[in-house]
Amino acid sequence: MKTIPITKLVPGMFVQSVTKQTGSIKIKNQGWVKTQAGINNLIKAGILEVEIDPDKTLIDSVPEKDPIATPTTKIKRDPWQKINSAEQEMGKAKKLYDEAKTLQIKAFKDIKAGRDIDIAPFRELASGFMDSVFRNQDALACLTQMRQKDAYLLEHSINVSILMGIFAKHLNIEKDTIVELTTGALLHDIGKIKIPDEVLNKPGRFTDDEFKIMKMHSLFSKEILEDSGLTGIAVDIAGMHHERLDGKGYPFGKKGDEISQYVRMASMVDVYDALTAERVYKAGMEPIKAFKILKDGCPDSFDPVLLNKFIQCIGIHPVGTLVRLSSQRVGLVTKSNPGAPLKPVVKTFYSAKHSRYTEVKDIDLSNKKTVDTLESAVKPKEYNIDLERFYKNSILS
């Protein structure tokens, strides 16, 4: 346990107890601090000091600067350097995302027709993703939030590929290796095309027999990629992204050191995107809730060190997240701020106080002159906001 002043408490920390206060407030339950508004309420109630559990913290308040040592760590540059603005990069990013959907559809048709898939276009696309990520990752990160409920199978693999690329860049992994990682992620679920539709698209819980069938998709993915001439990291990601550190994953039951860093990365990114995805039969989960589930899976299922770095990488409120500010303005996170993850740039366009659309305005929460703070992530349906329309008219313009 660690005791800290209330001014050092940030969203994502796990509060164990109140240790110093001027009043007599009692915290009924231990738990994670979800919003800055909640912290402000504690300050107003006279809380001066709290005890937190660092092991349960969802995001470190100060990002670690040392990358995980890997044999391929060679980049000697600021991984957060931005060559283009998000607006400048968005057109290129959108074109790449649409191209990825087209490639996926063609690959599915080839497999159904008994043909091997052509790996070269996927490698080229993965390289394009990384060029975009290195120019400004916020553009592609924003596109991962623009989900269509009936396109999960297509978009999930694309989103995992993009998030893997952003994560790998954050870890300073060599760019050639990142292309292998993103290629494997693009194709990691390709084996699902061999799963019967009645199982693949079932909205409820699987029976034991159905789950056995579903688990075969990892092996199918591995076989499809090997038959198409792919080897190495990409095949490992496709075949082993459901393996877990305690050996209770599938299809091989590998555990501990048998699971590489790259597969460990893919396993948590895969689960994160699945939890936050909008589907026909379920609403997407807020990132902070998805992080809690992943955190609960450490260290049995997921690598806690890598998970903390992933959370630092994309932030509690990732680019593309709809948020409400303390001023009751509502907007989208459009630019990440790795130095201060809780103070991104937000493009506001709606007033929660007056229930109406407002003039679009960019608010940099890290600016010392800005008095606004980020209160919480919100769902479009809370305010009947047509988010897709706003994406198209403002973000993609």
Q: Which CATH number fits domain 86-314: 1.25.40.10, 1.20.1250.20, 1.10.3210.10, 2.60.120.200?
A: 1.10.3210.10
Give the distance, in angstroms, between the CA of residue 110 and the centroid of all CA atoms in the same chain.
30
Alpha carbon 255 to its chain centroid, in Å, reads: 24
pLDDT tens across 325-349, in order?
999 999 999 888 877 778 899 999 9
* 381: pLDDT strictly greater than 90: no
Q: What is the mean pLDDT of the chain?
A: 86
Q: Is the pLDDT of residue 78 over 50?
A: no
pLDDT of residue 394: 56
**Can you give the pLDDT at residue 101?**
94
Of the two residues 241 and 22, the one the predictor is more confident about is 241
Calpha distance 356→328 (Å, rounded): 11
Mean pLDDT score, 36-43: 80
User: Taking residues 378-397, what's their average pLDDT?
Assistant: 72
Cis ω before 299 (30° cut-off from 0):
yes
Query: Residue 388 has what pLDDT?
Result: 67
Question: 243 pLDDT exceeds 80?
Answer: yes
Could you tell me the residue ranges of all domains in the chain?
Answer: 2-56, 86-314, 322-395
Among 22-36, 104-118, 194-208, 238-252, which stretch is predicted with the lowest mean pLDDT? 22-36
Of 221, 301, 233, the closest CA to residue 267 belongs to: 301
Higher-pLDDT residue of 75, 232:
232
Inter-residue contact 352 to 330 (CB < 8 Å) = yes
DSSP 283: P
Q: For 254-311, how does the pLDDT look when each residue is reduced to its tens digit (9 = 90+)? A: 999 999 999 999 999 999 999 999 887 788 888 989 999 999 999 999 999 999 999 9
pTM above 0.85, yes or no: no
Percent of the chain with pLDDT over 70: 89
Give the helix ranges, DSSP H, for 231-353.
233-240, 261-276, 287-296, 304-314
How confident is the model over 351-380, as a mean pLDDT? 92
Long-range contact set of residues 389-397: C-beta below 8 Å, sequence gap at least 24: 390/332, 390/349, 391/146, 394/347, 394/349, 394/360, 395/90, 395/142, 395/332, 395/334, 395/347, 396/90, 396/91, 396/94, 397/87
Report phi then psi at 225, rounded to 5.
-70, -40
pLDDT value of position 151: 81
